[in-house]
Amino acid sequence: MPEYKKIILTTDLSPSADAATPHAIELARRYGGTLYLVHVLVDPVYFATAPGGEPIMATLPQGWLEKTHEDHSRRLKEKADELSAKENVTVLPVLRFGHAAGEILAVAKEENADCIVIATHGRTGIAHFLFGSTTERVVRASTCPVLTVRPTEPLKA
């Protein structure tokens, strides 16, 4: 029987991502595991690229990236501290920068994770086509089990 001691819980700091949290907490409690709360600050070049398309280069306002990094770092730490205190599990915040799926998989490999818990956003239609699915990319490329959790209400296309 596998034991899930190192659990990657992904978040983009949205309410949709919170759907996966109870599942990750239950695994951590059941197996005495540690949650690695992973948030990827998406590289704007990746964000501005449609699947199979060329990157759209944009000039960002001066200081934008630093301010965004500080804000996301603070929010991630607050979320990790809150979960740790409320749920009585060890939660370590991990902030990365780059392509979401690639960075999630990199953290899983670096930490020798036993499981990745990730919420789908439930995008359909044109939104799914344009933005793709980080969850799909993680599931396809992960070397450890991946638990996917749908939010209660899918996003509208």
What integer pLDDT is reported at residue 120 of this predicted model? 85
Looking at the structure of the chain, the number of domains it has is 1
Per-residue pLDDT of the chain (157 residues; tens, 9 = 90+): 788 999 999 998 888 889 999 999 999 999 999 999 999 987 665 445 555 555 555 566 677 678 888 999 999 999 999 999 999 999 999 999 888 999 999 999 999 999 999 998 755 554 444 445 888 899 999 999 999 998 875 544 4
123, two tokens: 């995008």
Terminal C-alpha separation, the chain:
40
Q: Is residue 155 part of a domain?
A: no
Neighbouring C-alpha atoms within 13 Å toward the C-beta of 50: 5
9, two tokens: 């819980």
Domain CATH code at residue 122: 3.40.50.620
- Which pTM value belongs to this model? 0.82
SS3 81: helix
Can you name the residues that pair with 60 across neighbouring β-strands?
none
Q: Is residue 115 part of a domain?
A: yes
- DSSP notation for 92-128: EEEEEEE-HHHHHHHHHHHTT-SEEEEE-----HHHH
Tell me which residue range forms the domain holding 78: 6-149
What integer pLDDT is reported at residue 46 of this predicted model? 47
